[in-house]
Amino acid sequence: MGHAIETDWGAFRVEWSNRGLTRLDFPGEGRVPWNGDGGKRPAFVRRFAEALRRYIDGELVEFDVPVDLSRASEFARAVYEASRRVPYGRLSTYGAIARELGRPEAARAVGAALGQNPVGLVVPCHRIVGSSGELVGFSATEGVGLKRRLLELEGAFPAGGTPAARLALRVPADFHFEHTVTSHGWFDLAPFGYHRSLGSLHFAQELAQGRAASVRVRTAGRRLAVEVHSAGALSRADRRAVKKTASRVLGLDRELAPFHAELRRRGTRSWIPAGGFGRFLAAPTAWEDLAKTLLSTNASWSLLRSAVARLVKRLGTPAPGGLSAFPGPERIARMSERFLRSEFHVGYRAPYLHELARRASEGQIDWERWEDPATPAEEIRAEILGLPGFGEYAAANVLRILGRFDRLGLDSWLRGEYRRLFPRRDPSDAAIARAYEGFGEHRGLVLWLDLTRRWHPDAGDSAGARGERPPWEND
């Protein structure tokens, strides 16, 4: 049976069997004869139609409807299932899909199978790109142009066009790109986008005169290659701002050598210095770190991801490639609490976010002082706790991002993970404190790395395998 779904992009045409969707045509497309609008739509078709309209409107949507791929080959079905695991706003490559299927030589076959994909979007073949990020192999009517349009809608920042600038950053000898990016969940929140198979991280940042740039960072030997896309030419001040922001985001100014040397001297946790662990991914600004931390309190990861995505799309300054920068405090302070609550689903956090934005926009928070390593951590902690909606959990999270680890920052998640990973140990706060007190100003960092080691398969065998999956994988 068939049905037309009207959206702002035009009419999508869908067919189904009693097992699931069998075909989806984009507007203006008709690869096989159309069966017409007939029959009563089953619940999964109605659910898909609603989700499709929200997707076209720019909402973060994952299409979890059933599909009937019985006419596809066994290999093609495996390709489609692997492609469905690539999340909204992320990219993978034909080669990465082939390796996931245990056939590393089959990248071309993967591309051929995706070229016959009968249910685009549901099987998101638009998220599969060439090995260097190039957009190839999209069989819908508009071809690569439509692929780019879909990726820009998702904020995936596809490669294309000539960058306004190509910059390079030196990195410390102990820097590890992937371990820094995935140090915690910020990479999963807009306007960040991390594409593991491409080895690239992108984000948007505001520039002078109300502009914003899209920034892509890749590893290039002992340097980072930085591509900047903007609507116009970049001034020297713009280039300096981008370099400073990229350095902040990846913690390039953090001095880890003494910490790593101390672990080697003690003969403990050799995987930490070997893997370049210890840096935390930060947002382009401390304001963004504060706002995201506030929104994360007592919220599921899916709710946090959705709220941040809405804020960025609705209030952020647009940048090339479908990205927008996180809205500055002045913009949020102009919104009413009621608007923040109803439009961005932030619940009881709305008045706290509004007041935080007001204080930040009026210059009541000394960001430079917080970033200065000479400022005592306890003073920063006291100031954070004085902000609306910030308790010990939130303060500890902000301090970690700022590179301050002398407190453990124990919360319900850390306590639960500790009990799961070390079931034979005393799980009381006092006992945990005793276990890590010997690490001094790095005690909180060692605890965090112990409890998140399982997030990094290349960190070696660990009791951490018994822990829970990261929250962004659970939702």
CATH number of 1-160: 1.10.10.10
* pLDDT score, position 423: 93
* pLDDT score, position 131: 79
Alpha helices by DSSP H, listed for 345-442, are 350-361, 367-371, 377-385, 392-401, 412-421, 429-436
Helices 107-115, 74-84: crossing angle, 10 deg rounding: 90
Specify whether the CB–CB gap between 286 and 371 falls below 8 A: yes
pLDDT by residue for the chain (475 residues), tens only, comes to: 678 899 988 999 999 999 999 999 998 765 544 445 556 789 999 999 999 999 998 888 889 999 999 999 999 999 999 999 998 888 899 999 999 999 999 999 999 999 999 998 999 999 998 877 777 766 666 678 888 888 888 888 765 667 889 999 999 999 999 999 999 999 999 999 998 888 899 999 999 988 999 999 998 878 999 999 998 889 999 999 999 999 999 999 999 999 999 999 999 999 999 999 999 999 999 999 999 999 999 999 999 999 999 999 999 999 998 899 999 999 999 999 999 999 999 999 999 999 999 999 999 999 999 999 999 999 999 999 999 999 988 999 999 999 999 999 888 889 999 999 999 999 999 999 999 999 999 999 999 999 999 999 888 755 444 555 677 775 5
CATH number of 286-474: 1.10.340.30
* pLDDT score, position 163: 87
Specify whether the CB–CB gap between 16 and 22 falls below 8 A: yes
CATH number of 165-255: 3.30.310
* pLDDT score, position 32: 44
Question: Which residues 6+ apart lie within 8 Å of 70 measured at CB?
Answer: 19
Cα–Cα distance measured from residue 384 to residue 369, given in angstroms and rounded to the nearest whole number:
13
The domain limits of the chain are 1-160, 165-255, 286-474
Question: Which residues 6+ apart lie within 8 Å of 306 measured at CB?
Answer: 59, 60, 345
Q: How many residues does the chain have?
A: 475
Question: Of 19, 146, 119, 3, which Cα lies nearest the Cα of 63?
Answer: 119
The secondary structure of residue 357, as a DSSP letter, is H
- Enzyme catalytic residues: 125
Helices 392-401, 377-385: crossing angle, 10 deg rounding: 140
